[in-house]
Amino acid sequence: MSFQPPVIPASEVPSALGARGYAVLTREGLCELAGIESPALEGLRASWNDLPQDGFLRDGGRYRSRRHACFVVDGASVTQVPHRAHWQPVEYNALHGGLERWFEPVQPDIVSQPVWAGLIRGLAACCSQLKGERPWYVEAHQFRIDTTDGIGRPTPEGAHRDGVDFVAVLLVGREGIKGGETRVFEAQGPNGLRFTLTEPWSALLLDDARVIHESTPIQPLEGPGHRDTLVLTFRAGGFQGPA
């Protein structure tokens, strides 16, 4: 059974994040919130067909491919910084924490598209509405989880926080799979919810201090399938890195 996402209008996102720590948007809601044109998003999708395999999976899996890039948003300015490793402490990622992971960068022809910067800029503005105007240190992750070996795990580390201020999980698309249910739980409470994102470019926005999240494994329906996402994390004060 798949539960429908609890979508809200873009105008309610700041109050929803402030009240319960999460918000779910349709494609139209995401575009309204970020101030971008919906058709422009289609110019990004093909790049998910050219993601190198993740060579750092400590569970020995071959089901994840990805690219990574980092940016600083200061007001209307979105600046890509020199390529750097992705790093998380073990407190937030028990499986891959404490490891400098160097992934291949997001391709320049993707980063240069106005909709890419517009998406990051618009979501950063939403973060500033909640936390106050400041520079935001943004990590962008393109993920493809596939079922070539039977099962793909979007979050092999389990339910987790990311060690940032805000997280945006955008479903780029899913094909030939079942599963991939999104689960969000209070970090300091008993409540949680579950739903399945199916609409391309629908989005889950999270206050990382308030909630933990995970996505359940995916399985093929007939032949191999996949689930593509764009994950953007927003952190004040700097990027995460080893002390």
Contact 177, 183 (CB under 8 A): no
pLDDT at residue 159 greater than cutoff 90? no
Question: What is the predicted pLDDT for the residue at 98?
Answer: 64
| Total-model pTM | 0.95
Give the chain's largest Cα–Cα span: 48
CATH 2.60.120.620 applies to domain 10-230: yes
Digit-coded pLDDT (tens) for 100-112: 889 999 999 999 9
Phi, psi of 122 (to 5 degrees): -65, -40
Give the model confidence (pLDDT) of 19-76 as tens digits.
Answer: 999 999 999 999 999 999 999 999 999 999 999 999 888 788 899 999 999 999 999 9
Q: Tell me the C-alpha distance between 136 and 126, whole Å.
A: 11
Q: What residue ranges do the domains of the chain occupy?
A: 10-230
pLDDT of residue 1: 64
Helix axes 27-34, 114-131, angle to 10 degrees: 80
Q: Match 């890509």 to its residue by tokens.
A: 80
What band does 118 get if pLDDT is binned at 50, 70 and 90? very high
C-alpha atoms less than 13 angstroms from C-alpha of 201 in its C-beta half-sphere: 21
- 138: which residues sit within 8 A by CB, 6+ positions away? 70, 71, 72, 73, 120, 124, 232, 233, 234, 235
242: confidence class by pLDDT, cuts 50, 70, 90: confident
Mean pLDDT of 200-224: 95
